[in-house]
Amino acid sequence: MNTCFKAEKISENVFWVGAVDWHVRDFHGYKTQRGTTYNAFLIIDDKITLVDTVKKEFASEMLERVASVVPLEKIDYIISNHSEPDHSGSLPEAIAAIKPEKVFASSFGAKTLKPYYGIDAEVVPDGSSVSLGKGNITFVETRMLHWPDSMVSFYDRDGVLFSQDAFGMHLAGSKLWADEYPVDILDYEARKYFCNIINVQSGKVLALLESLPQLDLDIKIVAPDHGPLIRKDFDKVLALYHEVATQAPVPRAVVIYATMWHATEMLARAFADGVRSQGMEVKILDLAVCDRSEVMTEVANSGLVAFGAPTMNNNVFPAMMDVLTYVRGLKPLNKIGFAFGSCGWSGEGAKQISEQINLMKMEQPLPFLQVKYRPSDEEMKRAFDAGFQLAEQLCAKCAK
Ligand code: FEO
């Protein structure tokens, strides 16, 4: 096998054998402006073990990296921590080339790998360990983080926690380690990744963070399946996860709107200025240029969320319903919401937004604001006042 693609050593007995996807920009709706990586790892022990694989189109690159360390047929085990195809897509090819003695997965993982690929995996129960010879690997289920099958595995000889989606981010780069990237990029991408992928399971994240110390793992390296690996300041990553999973109200606002002839846009700008006049930070997002994942990132980072859109054919403008559906599914907590919009005649839009805000269980202290054609001076003032009042209420809520 050509070994142009090399493995990179990350600890005494573990190598990175993944792939960098520089150009992926759309991860089923999540805009990955900085690309991503699919990380896979090779453990060299008496039982040589491949941990996770990569997206299907990078299979040969991964196998070349593996072969740069050890002939493929020498590999004994494959561990599938997570069966979503960005990590399992290359499994069939890897199994065909390696012919491993065993493929390990969680009970849900085994149930997923069979229908996806016809793979018969050996189930490793939660908390169980497998000896690789000189070191052991321990499996801890992390159900729903990100799928029901998800688990993490810990290699005690080198202190490496293979954390699959957890603690990852979508960030392509030629450096392996988080401490080799600017802190502000890591912070933004980690938050964006959390709130677009894991936010819906914030309660489970908090439970996991609480239980992690009890496992008494001597973690030296955290090796997620996406983005850079962590060898320093893991406590800071845990603190960030705790902060975002807690979803405490934040004194910040975001105004999300769609517009056809600028009437809704005018209301959005007036509302935002009302917020601003309280001294509160506010951001305006136009759905013509901002995508769902950007919207969700800002929603998660704001205590006050205003949604505005026109009415189109007796319904709310479709781009707004797309975003509302997406945000609702991710279950943001502790928000104050506000609905507004413009219409020509029938005017269902703002009411439908308001109903969605209720379904999201956001507080909605003010009734929705619906205007016809173009907001009057009085309606612009109502939008401004709504921003002013709700920002004031949010300040009081955050001060509690
Ligand atoms: Fe990166 Fe849930 O897969």
Whether 279 and 241 share a structural domain: no
- Confidence class of residue 66 from pLDDT cuts 50, 70 and 90? very high
Indicate the SS3 state at residue 10: strand
Q: What is the pLDDT of residue 2?
A: 63
Whether 223 and 257 share a structural domain: no
Predicted model pTM: 0.95
User: From the CB of 149, is ligand 1 less than 6 Å away?
Assistant: no
Backbone angles phi, psi at 162, to 5 degrees: -90, 105
> CA distances (Å), 170 to each of 50, 222, 230, 301, in order?
22, 16, 14, 18
- CB atoms under 10 Å from CB of 384, counted, come to 20
Ligand 1, atom 3, lies closest to the CA of: 84
Whether 101 and 133 share a structural domain: yes
Whether 168 and 25 share a structural domain: yes
CATH of the domain at 280: 3.40.50.360
Burial class (CB in 10 A: 0-12, 13-18, 19+), 268: buried
User: From the CB of 165, is ligand 1 less than 6 Å away?
Assistant: yes
User: From the CB of 21, is ligand 1 less than 6 Å away?
Assistant: no
Domain containing residue 266: 253-394
Element (H, E) at 117: helix 107-117
In tens, the pLDDT along 124-165 reads: 999 999 999 999 999 999 999 999 999 999 999 999 999 999
Report the domain count for the chain.
2
Whether 280 and 219 share a structural domain: no
User: From the CB of 294, is ligand 1 less than 6 Å away?
Assistant: no
120 pLDDT more than 70: yes
Q: Which residue is catalytic, options 52, 64, 149, 165?
A: 165
1 pLDDT more than 90: no
In tens, the pLDDT along 208-220 reads: 999 988 889 999 9
User: From the CB of 191, is ligand 1 less than 6 Å away?
Assistant: no
Distance 27 CA to ligand 1 centre (A): 10
Mean pLDDT, residues 13-31: 96
In tens, the pLDDT along 187-196 reads: 999 999 999 9
Catalytic residue flag (residue 86): yes
Indicate the SS3 state at residue 116: helix
Whether 162 and 292 share a structural domain: no
Please spell the DSSP secondary structure of 213-235, one letter per residue: GGG----SEEEESSS-BB-S-HH
User: From the CB of 82, is ligand 1 less than 6 Å away?
Assistant: yes
Distance from C-alpha of 200 to C-alpha of 384, rounded to nearest angstrom: 32
Quote the tokens at residue 224. 């997620």
Q: What is the pLDDT of residue 290?
A: 97
Q: Would you say residue 1 lies in a domain?
A: no
Whether 64 and 155 share a structural domain: yes
Mean pLDDT, residues 62-90: 98
Distance from C-alpha of 396 to C-alpha of 400, rounded to nearest angstrom: 7
222 pLDDT more than 80: yes
Distance from C-alpha of 45 to C-alpha of 199, rounded to nearest angstrom: 37
Whether 210 and 300 share a structural domain: no
Whether 197 and 304 share a structural domain: no
Q: Would you say residue 3 lies in a domain?
A: no
Q: What is the pLDDT of residue 96?
A: 98
Q: Taking the chain, what is the end-to-end CA distance rounded to the nearest angstrom? A: 63
Catalytic residue flag (residue 193): yes
Catalytic residue flag (residue 235): no
Cβ 145 vs Cβ 198: under 8 Å: yes
Domain end call among 182, 217, 246: 246
Indicate the SS3 state at residue 287: coil
Q: Would you say residue 179 lies in a domain?
A: yes
- Atom number of ligand 1 nearest to Cα 150: 2
The residues, ordered by sequence, that sit 6+ positions from 190 with a Cβ below 8 Å of its Cβ are 169, 237, 240
Q: What is the pLDDT of residue 380?
A: 98
Find tokens 């509690």 and name the residue.
400
Distance 40 CA to ligand 1 centre (A): 13
Q: Would you say residue 44 lies in a domain?
A: yes
Whether 271 and 366 share a structural domain: yes
Catalytic residue flag (residue 170): no
In tens, the pLDDT along 228-279 reads: 999 999 999 999 999 999 999 999 999 999 999 999 999 999 999 999 999 9
Domain end call among 246, 261, 280: 246
Ligand 1, atom 1, lies closest to the CA of: 165
Cβ 83 vs Cβ 56: under 8 Å: no
CATH of the domain at 170: 3.60.15.10
Q: What percent of the chain has pLDDT over 70?
A: 100
Nearest to 190 by CA among 240, 247, 230: 240
Q: Which residue is catalytic, options 30, 189, 226, 241?
A: 226
- CB atoms under 10 Å from CB of 234, counted, come to 16
User: From the CB of 87, is ligand 1 less than 6 Å away?
Assistant: yes
Beta bridge partners of 79: 51, 104
Q: What percent of the chain has pLDDT over 90?
A: 96
Backbone angles phi, psi at 112, to 5 degrees: -90, -40
Whether 242 and 311 share a structural domain: no
Whether 220 and 285 share a structural domain: no
Distance from C-alpha of 351 to C-alpha of 339, rounded to nearest angstrom: 7
Domain end call among 182, 215, 246: 246
Q: Which residue is catalytic, options 30, 52, 64, 82?
A: 82
Residues composing the chain: 400
Q: Would you say residue 2 lies in a domain?
A: no
Catalytic residue flag (residue 87): no
Distance of alpha carbon 145 from the chain centroid? 10
Please spell the DSSP secondary structure of 242-279, one letter per residue: HHHHHT---SEEEEEE--SSSHHHHHHHHHHHHHHTTT
Q: What is the pLDDT of residue 400?
A: 86
